[in-house]
Structure 1
């Protein structure tokens, strides 16, 4: 187990090194939250109460959630690209654990996601967002986002391993994530929506993640949202981690 973790960390570092040679990708990691916050807070802020302070307090946690979940698509895209380039054929000949390449890829993407989250918090602070709970509560909220993103990354990895191409993988993952993120209460309260949409937003796991993060950052009831999010995380891991490992073994054997 320790050896597999060490190998996964080594491969994660291998996946991060190319960032220094691709400034455009690094630019996207750093400035994607800026664009998202400008769009949702300044252009659509009226939906959260009409004032900028209220919009920032409500929407910034939603922006963090959306950025985190949409970033999981890159896990499957990178895996599909590596398979097409024959990278995993070379891994197959190396004396490493079967799970190490997948774990390394997911860990690398979580580290880049952490950069994006930190940048989001910096931008949020610049536009007026304030954490009103405490540092431990805030860290718990951000950790919860990373946990669910990790679970979804295994799902993205599975799609990337079974998809015929990078384009098809991106299309399938986007078709799943867009209804989840935009059909949630991440940006608009469920009470403002029609009955059927309000019901969907109430059962949507993204709504619970956004509610948990909002409560952990700015206060308010959030315990049930935290437990529901942890339950979804465990369920997604139990489902997609074995599927991804099985698909990986089939692709590289």
Structure 2
């Protein structure tokens, strides 16, 4: 099944070669976010260097989480176009097309992460810890996004309209990202919002990335992020597999 999933992941990536606009849009997304959050918002206080160090891990978090929406959208589009009906006639593992779709989207996620780090370097971001810690930060965000991709896949399988699926996923992710400490310290917020930021898993993920890349790591943020990753995967992997089995049966 692994080789079949990798083959189908490659099949999902090939169309990007014939649609350069899709790839350009994918790579430009972190550029726009860094410009908005670092230069427009972060630079207002005069400490642009400090804003870059604080906000780039938040940008990485938001880019990765929003990128997971494409998994459900692409999956729903493939099913509506009858692509999975053709896969069903082939001698491959039933879950291989689903796994291939998620692996393909993780590959594009890695491109956006690389682009975010490149633009971050251009605007002055430097890893303050070490290469192992930086790799651990990338691994953590990829793991979290991988788990969340299964949730996106589940929505894409149970909601027939691609537009509705995108709207629902965005309605869930935007409050999580903007209602977190990814871009603004919780201490600058009112009490009720500080409480929400404290329990928000995105806050812990952004803090873990910031600690691994900038310094001042709190091990609790890493463990909480890994715990949320395990919970999300444990809930949505079986749900997505069951919904996929029903859609293609």
Same structural fold, with TM-score higher than 0.5 when normalized by the shorter chain: yes
Match for residue 44 of structure 1? Answer: 41
Matched residues in 2 for 1:245 and 1:10: separation? 19
Give the whole-Å Cα distance in 2 for the aligned partners of 1:31 and 1:178. 19
- The answer for the alignment partner of 2:220 in structure 1 is 224
Distance 2:22 2:74 in 1: 13
1:5 aligns with 2:2: yes
- In the other structure, the counterpart of 1:202 is 198
TM-score w.r.t. length of structure 1? 0.97
Any unmatched runs of 5+ in structure 1? none
Q: What is the DSSP-based 3-state SS (H/G/I as helix, E as strand, rest coil) of the residue aligned with 2:216?
A: coil
What is residue 113 of structure 1 aligned with on the other side? Answer: 109
**Partner residue of 1:157 out of 153, 160, 164:** 153
Aligned to 1:22: 19
How big is each residue's C-alpha offset from its partner over 1:210-235, in whole Å with a ceiling of 9 and x where there is no partner?
00000000110321100000000000
Q: Secondary structure at the match of 2:14?
A: helix
After superposition, residues 1-253 of structure 1 pair within 5 angstroms as 4-46=1-43, 50-253=46-249
| TM-score normalised by the chain length of structure 2 | 0.98
Which ranges of 4 or more aligned residues in structure 1 deviate by more than 2 Å?
none
- Measure, in 2, the Cα distance between the counterparts of 1:221 and 1:252: 45
Q: Residues of 2 paired with 1:131 and 1:222: CA distance? A: 17
Classify the secondary structure of the residue corresponding to 2:180: coil
Give the gaps of 5 or more residues in structure 2.
none
Matched residues in 2 for 1:152 and 1:9: separation? 20
C-alpha contact 2:38 2:51 (8 A) present in aligned 1: yes
Shift of residue 46, structure 1, vs aligned partner: 4.6
Q: CA deviation at 1:239?
A: 0.3
